[in-house]
């Protein structure tokens, strides 16, 4: 096993960061030793610490965005929006804690009182993804810390520098070192952390394959909380709309923002036969104008490279596999620089492919499917084991009512992209997209557990039946 983990800039191949590979036992033991004192602090102290964290990130925003752009390859403008989301998460989490897990009184019989309070779980492990290496793990960590947990955070092995930067911001804000631990490493370290006997739960964002393995591993551990946010084979339907330009923009935003590396990205475009030719022509023309470039290029690119050459190779193989199954290319997946992971978005008609693989192609590949009636379009949208995000582009409210009722997804949008979900709302899906533990605003739910207490100032009790005479 290598002693260090190295991170390289996708756009240039330059070494960006190196760090020692950590040990799960060491990090969990440190968190276990520190969480109780953190949990014992008044909530107001933890809230103030999180607000200081937001201010630390705000002060370091330029450096943070630059690092994010370099390590992920995403454009600088998009990296800045991710840093803004990290800051905004604090106020959102404070509001969510108050609404979802606050202390309250319940109705109780005379002479007693019923109280509802929430307790932290203890030590929570957080496994982060590479596509939003700050925003998504931060969406677990901030509510976990607010609730009084300690956190062991393992960032993706593809984005360790952003993970280390994020942890340094928590510590600079006053989160005790013992309560925010950083575990650097690859799959082996992630597995060791997930399997560790001394964690009280695992909060995961990543692929369905890993999430399913975690679900199996936790099947005999009901005492541990497991929150899974996985991917999606998300549909976007275009039906009965005269504004094809706007429809094309929404499709492109859904499919190709962040180089298609969003769990909510549209993977499948389902389109009315009558709109097919003009819509596809409009989309294809727009895609031809998209700038694919390095994070700091001027003019700013719409999208950067995918995360690394291995992913670019896998996406190329997946596109060729669709061609071999009978897919009709509308725009080929092009590798613009041979030894770099820059991909020009691809569009492929898979209507005639009868055995379409139900997988999440995590990159800029859009599959197009014709439909001859709206019920068939909804059926095609639901033709997946996933159920994260779905969107309808249509000017007909009655169609949206049918779509909302009939489609199976945790995020259902109308005349909006499939992506761009708000942190002020719950975020999660069904099927292979999650395990009914939605994150974002509802993250508070899995960071603390409810405790109900029936209480009275003095003990009073009597047995009114079932006693022999004295």
Enter the tokens of residue 172.
């600079």
Secondary structure of the chain in HEC code, one letter for each residue: CCCEEEEECCCCCCEEEEEECCCHHHHHHHHHHHHHHHHHCCHHHHHHHHHHHHHHHHHCHHHHHHHHHHHHCCCHHHHHHHHHHHHHHHHHHHHHHHHHCCCEEECCCCCCEEEEEEEECCEEEEECCCCCCCHHHHHHHHHHHHHCCEEEEECCCCCHHHHHHHHHHHHHCCCCHHHEEECCCCHHHHHHHHCCCCCCEEEEECCHHHHHHHHHHCCCCCCCEEEEECCCCEEEEECCCCCHHHHHHHHHHHHHHHHHCCCCCEEEEEEEHHHHHHHHHHHHHHHHHCCECCCCCCCCCCECCCCCHHHHHHHHHHHHHHHHCCCEEEECCEECCCCCCCEECEEEECCCCCCCCCCCCCCCEEEEEEECCHHHHHHHHCCCCCCCEEEEECCCHHHHHHHHHHCCCCEEEECCCCCCCCCCCEECCCHHHECCCCEECCHHHHHEEEEEEEECCCCCCCCCCCCCCC
Burial state string for 425-436 with b = 16 or more CB within 10 A and e = fewer than 16: ebbbbbbbbbbe
Q: Is 263 a catalytic residue?
A: yes
Tokens 């209480």, residue? 455
Enter the tokens of residue 184.
């650097």
Tokens 């989160």, residue? 175
Of 179, 263, 360, 380, which is the active-site residue? 263
312: nearest Cα among 237, 276, 376, 260: 260
Q: Which residues contact 237 (CB under 8 A, 6 or more apart)?
A: 270, 271, 371, 377, 378, 381, 390, 391, 392, 393, 394, 403
| Pair type for strands 328-331 and 346-349 | antiparallel
1: nearest Cα among 26, 27, 22, 18: 22
Of 9, 189, 229, 360, which is the active-site residue? 229
Active site residues: 229, 263
């Amino acid at each position: 096993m290598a002693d260090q983990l190295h991170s390289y800039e996708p756009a240039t191949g330059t070494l960006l960061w190196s760090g020692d590979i950590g040990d799960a036992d060491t990090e969990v033991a440190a968190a276990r030793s520190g969480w109780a004192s953190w949990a014992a602090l008044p909530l107001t102290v933890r809230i103030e610490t999180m607000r200081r964290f937001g201010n630390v990130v705000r002060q370091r925003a330029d450096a943070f965005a630059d690092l994010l752009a370099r390590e992920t390859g995403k454009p600088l403008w998009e990296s800045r929006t991710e840093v803004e989301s990290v800051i905004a998460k604090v106020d959102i989490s404070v509001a969510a804690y108050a609404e979802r897990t606050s202390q309250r009184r319940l109705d109780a019989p005379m002479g007693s009182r019923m109280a509802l309070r929430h307790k932290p779980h203890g030590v929570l492990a957080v496994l982060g993804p590479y596509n939003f290496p700050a925003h998504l793990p931060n969406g677990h960590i901030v509510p976990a810390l607010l609730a009084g947990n300690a956190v062991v955070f393992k960032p993706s092995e593809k984005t360790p520098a952003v993970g280390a930067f994020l942890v340094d911001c928590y510590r600079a804000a006053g989160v005790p070192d013992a309560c925010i631990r950083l575990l650097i490493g690859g799959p082996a370290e992630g597995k060791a952390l997930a399997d560790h006997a001394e964690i009280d739960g695992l909060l995961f964002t990543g692929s369905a394959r890993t999430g399913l393995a975690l679900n199996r591993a936790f099947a005999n551990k009901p005492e541990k909380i497991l929150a899974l946010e996985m991917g999606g084979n998300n549909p976007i339907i275009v039906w009965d709309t005269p504004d094809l330009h706007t429809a094309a923009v929404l499709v492109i935003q859904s499919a190709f923002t962040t180089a298609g590396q969003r769990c909510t990205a549209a993977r499948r475009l389902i389109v009315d036969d009558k709109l097919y030719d003009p819509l596809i022509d409009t989309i294809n023309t727009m895609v031809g104008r998209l700038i694919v470039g390095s994070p700091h290029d001027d003019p700013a690119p719409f999208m950067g490279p995918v995360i690394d050459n291995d992913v670019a190779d896998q996406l190329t193989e997946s596109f060729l596999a669709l061609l071999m199954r009978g897919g009709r290319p509308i725009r080929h997946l092009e590798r613009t620089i041979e030894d770099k992971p820059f991909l020009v978005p691809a569009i492929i008609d898979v209507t005639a492919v009868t055995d379409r693989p139900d997988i999440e192609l995590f990159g800029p590949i859009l599959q197009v499917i014709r439909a001859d009636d709206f019920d068939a379009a909804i059926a095609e949208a639901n033709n997946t084991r996933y159920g994260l995000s779905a969107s309808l582009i249509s000017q007909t409210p009655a169609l949206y009512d049918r779509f909302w009722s009939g489609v199976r997804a945790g995020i259902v949008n109308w005349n909006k992209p499939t992506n761009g979900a708000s942190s002020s709302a719950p975020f999660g899906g069904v099927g292979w997209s999650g395990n009914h533990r939605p994150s974002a605003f509802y993250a508070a739910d899995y960071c603390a557990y409810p405790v109900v207490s029936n209480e009275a100032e003095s003990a009073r009790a009597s047995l009114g039946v079932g006693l022999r005479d004295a």
